[in-house]
């Protein structure tokens, strides 16, 4: 008898509920894979009614699940630092989801913003350190509301945090055909934190002699991603640099709506969380044109994490075939609705 995978679903804000609904349809269409879902109505609406983005004890509740599907967070009524730290980052930090995995692949049928680039030229993965750096949450204000007000935001890099991220990235690079890794840093301007990053990555690299690697400054990496994206395979970067670069790589695939991500608890003692890179996109809410592909590809990453690699590959191959057939939402040049894209994916999986 197959084990049931229990999935916590947090649709969140904006278009999050729309794309999460597609994700559940895709999982149901796989057939033969036993899943149980429980949906939690946490987010900005919960905050406006209760003063909290999620209730006390939420992490203890989520810890009982095998994985978390997350839609989006962000609201016009609630400041961004409250929505982010009160929900998404509370889960990432609370479950020590130390690596954010963000693949970026230009799919057949999708025309990206770079002229004459073929799908095989944009196929890379950003491995982002996910709990430290500028997102550590350490800092504060002084003289709040007075002349000379000061805010301090402390960047925190640890040897262990860098090392586990680098090891994951090198192992991933070793498993891919190119066996090439680029470490992104800013050590010319950050002579402490970024220098530690460079040193630790070099230490880890010594254990992977079969992987070619280089170190680039983040500004040079951004420029090269636009000019020569085919030169990248696996990028490993700090929390802030990885966040920014993965938005760029997502855009290179045609739209942030195409970009999936996984927040991984590497010791597998707590559930990992899977979400599209895009935000809540309130301008699209209720119009039926939100791109569900980033969410569906996040489902594929979740299936991989659950050990269901064949099903993950089925989802990826199906998405690529649907895109090649021209079933695309307006953000990537198509005229299909969210529901039409979902219908095409589900029909192909069930066929």
- Domain ranges in the chain are 1-101+255-351, 113-252
Q: How many CB atoms lie within 10 A of CB 226?
A: 12
Question: CA 60, 164, 90: angle at the middle one, nearest 5?
Answer: 30
Residue 219 is among the residues annotated as catalytic for this protein = yes
Q: How far is CA 217 from the centre of its chain?
A: 22
Q: Cβ distance 21 to 5 under 8 Å?
A: no
Q: How far, in Å, CA of 309 to CA of 348, rounded?
A: 18
Residue among 123, 243, 304, 305 flagged as catalytic: 243
Catalytic residue from among 80, 160, 219, 325:
219
CATH class given for the domain over 113-252: alpha beta
Note the residue count of the chain. 351
Tokens for 257?
């709506």
Neighbours of 95 (CB within 10 A): 21
Q: What are phi and psi of 323, to 5 degrees?
A: -65, -40
Dihedral (Cα; 217, 222, 225, 227), 10-degree rounding = -100
- Asked if residue 328 lies in contact with residue 110, where contact means CB atoms within 8 angstroms, the answer is yes
The token pair that represents 198 in the structure block: 């460079």
User: Which of these is catalytic: 28, 96, 198, 247?
Assistant: 247
pLDDT of residue 239: 96
* Pairing label, strands 150-153, 123-129: unpaired
For 232, residues 6+ apart whose C-beta sits below 8 A from its C-beta are 124, 180, 182, 224, 225
pLDDT at 236: 98
The number of beta carbons lying within 10 Å of the beta carbon of residue 214 is 11
Active-site residue identified among 13, 47, 168, 186: 186
CB 348 within 8 A of CB 314: no
What tens-digit pLDDT sequence spans the chain (351 residues)? Answer: 457 899 999 999 999 999 999 999 999 999 877 899 999 999 999 999 999 999 999 999 999 999 999 999 999 999 999 999 999 999 999 999 999 999 999 999 999 999 989 999 999 999 999 999 989 889 999 999 999 999 999 999 999 999 999 999 999 999 999 999 999 999 999 999 999 999 999 999 999 999 999 999 999 999 999 999 999 999 999 999 999 999 999 999 999 999 999 999 999 899 999 999 999 999 999 999 999 999 999 999 999 999 999 999 999 999 999 999 999 999 999 999 999 999 999 999 998
For the question of residue 247 being annotated catalytic, the response is: yes
Q: Domain 1-101+255-351 class?
A: alpha beta
80 is an active site residue: no
Please tell me which residue in 13, 47, 66, 135 is annotated as part of the active site: 135
pLDDT of amino acid 2 = 56
- Can you tell me the distance from the alpha carbon of 56 to that of 40, in angstroms, rounded to the nearest whole number? 13
Q: Look at the block and give the residue holding tokens 């999982």.
A: 27
Query: Where do we find the tokens 């951004």?
Result: 222
325 is catalytic: no
| Helices and strands, counts by H and E, the chain | 12, 12
| 243 burial level (CB within 10 Å; 0-12, 13-18, 19+) | buried
Instruction: Please tell me the predicted confidence (pLDDT) of residue 1.
Output: 45
């Amino acid at each position: 008898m197959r084990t049931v995978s229990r999935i916590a679903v947090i649709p969140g804000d904006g278009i999050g509920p729309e794309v999460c609904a597609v994700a559940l349809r895709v999982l149901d269409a796989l057939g033969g894979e036993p899943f149980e879902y429980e949906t939690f109505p946490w987010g900005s609406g919960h905050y406006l009614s209760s003063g909290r983005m999620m209730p006390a004890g939420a992490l203890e509740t989520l810890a009982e699940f095998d994985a978390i599907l997350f839609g989006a967070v962000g609201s016009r009524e609630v400041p961004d630092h409250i929505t982010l730290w009160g929900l998404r980052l509370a889960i990432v930090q609370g479950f020590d989801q130390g690596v954010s995995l963000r693949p970026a692949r230009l799919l057949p049928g999708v025309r990206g913003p770079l002229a004459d680039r073929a799908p095989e030229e944009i196929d890379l993965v950003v491995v982002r350190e996910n709990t430290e750096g500028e997102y550590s949450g350490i800092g504060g204000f002084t003289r709040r509301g007075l002349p000379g007000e000061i805010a301090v935001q402390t960047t925190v890099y640890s040897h262990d945090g860098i090392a586990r991220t680098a090891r994951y990235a090198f192992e991933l690079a070793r498993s891919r055909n190119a066996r090439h890794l680029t470490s992104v840093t800013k050590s010319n301007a950050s002579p402490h934190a970024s220098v530690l990053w460079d040193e630790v990555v070099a230490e880890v690299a010594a254990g992977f002699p079969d992987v070619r690697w280089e170190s680039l400054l983040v500004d040079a990496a951004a420029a090269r991603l636009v000019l020569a994206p085919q030169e990248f395979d696996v990028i490993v970067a700090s929390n802030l640099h990885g966040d920014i670069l993965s938005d760029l790589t997502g855009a290179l695939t045609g739209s942030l709506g195409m970009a999936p991500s996984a927040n991984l608890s590497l010791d597998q003692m707590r559930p990992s969380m899977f979400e599209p890179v895009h935000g809540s996109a309130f301008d699209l809410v209720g119009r039926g044109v939100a791109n569900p592909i980033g969410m569906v590809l996040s489902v594929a990453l979740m299936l991989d994490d659950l050990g269901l690699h064949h099903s993950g590959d089925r989802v990826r191959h199906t998405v690529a075939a649907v895109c090649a057939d021209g079933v695309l939402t307006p953000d990537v040049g198509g005229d299909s609705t969210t529901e039409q894209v979902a219908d095409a994916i589900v029909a192909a999986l069930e066929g």
